[in-house]
Amino acid sequence: MANLRDIKIRINSTKKTKSMTKAMQMVSASKKNRAELNAKSYVPYMEKVQDVVAAIASGTSDASHPMLETRPVKKTGYIVIGSDRGLAGAYNSNVIRELTRTLNERHKSKDEYVILAIGRVARDFFVKRGYNVIDSVVGLPDQPTFSDVKAIARKAVGMFADGTYDELYMYYNHYISVISQEVTEKKVLPITDLAPASEGISASYEFDPSADAILEVLLPQYAESLIYGALLDGKASEHAARMTAMKAATDNADELIKSLDLVYNRARQAAITQEITEIVGGAAALE
């Protein structure tokens, strides 16, 4: 009977685990829906800003700006967007693995790059392994606003402007669907390959006071908004990955409970059969 008791304890603990993973799945589904809406709602703003910047930079004026000009690359900046918590499947490991591979392929020493980490998991990974992490942000809310990342976004753009590094890339998970998130590398600075976001639509702009003055304000904001847009995209991917992981955990718990129930019933049947056999044997001995 001790064996039956152990099996029963394991069944009960698995049921408790299942209830937790099911609750986490439902919470992540709710957060995912809101994060996906936030990411999609931000797209029209990004496209309009891109249209305006492209109109200025496409040759319609003689405007110029350091953020539009390629310069010799001595050092590269990388922004990596991860999460503060685990239990999200391969969400963090995929983006960390891709950035690690890139660093090993492109750079021979730590002096050739810097990392700005968003999320505790990514920060801890690179810090513990001695990578050149110069700044990080942790503890972001599930539905972040621009003010939550304004400091690191402006610092990232500012370090390009003051020559700390000569190009800036982002690595994050792009949300495709609930079961599909793709690790994406996006070049933030310099802005060299800029085309209107609205294909087939050409707009005429008049700039006041001047195109140069507008670029001076708009380009840093555009680069910062790229970082924020990637964060929104990454948050949608994070919640989707966690929802999928928790669903898989719940399904696995169901299968384990069924298997343990079968083992328990067989063991219980064997114990009952043994008891009946002992009773019959005892009665026969008394005859």
Kindly report, residue by residue over 44-73, the tens digit of the pLDDT. 888 888 887 777 766 555 556 778 888 899
Residue 277 has which token pair?
A: 């056999």
Among the ranges given (4-18, 57-71, 228-242), the one the predictor scored with the smallest mean pLDDT = 57-71
What percentage of the chain carries pLDDT values higher than 70?
A: 89
Confidence grade of residue 113 (pLDDT, cut at 50, 70, 90): very high
Confidence grade of residue 100 (pLDDT, cut at 50, 70, 90): very high
- Residues with Cβ within 8 Å of 202's Cβ and at least 6 positions away in sequence, in order, are 196
Residue 273 has which token pair?
A: 């059969």
pLDDT of residue 75: 93
- Strands of the chain (E only): list them: 76-81, 113-118, 133-137, 167-177, 180-189
**Amino acid at the residue 46:** M
pLDDT of residue 68: 81
Residue 176 has which token pair?
A: 């495709």
Q: For the chain, which domains are there?
A: 26-244 (3.40.1380.10)
Residues 53/188, Cβ–Cβ less than 8 Å: no
Phi, psi of 212 (to 5 degrees): -65, -45
The HSE-up count of residue 144 (CA atoms within 13 Å, CB side) is 28
Mean residue pLDDT of the chain comes to 86
CB neighbours of residue 61 within 10 Å: 16
pTM for the full model?
A: 0.85
Residue 271, pLDDT above cutoff 80? no
What is the rounded distance in angstroms from the CA atom of residue 278 to the CA atom of residue 44? 79
Residues 139/48, Cβ–Cβ less than 8 Å: no
Residue 177, pLDDT above cutoff 80? yes
Phi, psi of 14 (to 5 degrees): -65, -40
**Amino acid at the residue 64:** S
Residues 116/135, Cβ–Cβ less than 8 Å: yes
Handedness of CA 38, 39, 40, 44 (dihedral sign): positive
What's the CA dihedral at 201, 170, 187, 163 to 10 degrees?
Answer: 130
What is the rounded distance in angstroms from the CA atom of residue 92 to the CA atom of residue 182? 12
pLDDT tens, residue by residue, 140-172: 999 999 988 888 999 999 999 888 999 999 999
Distance, C-alpha 40 to centroid of its chain: 16
Residue 122, pLDDT above cutoff 60? yes
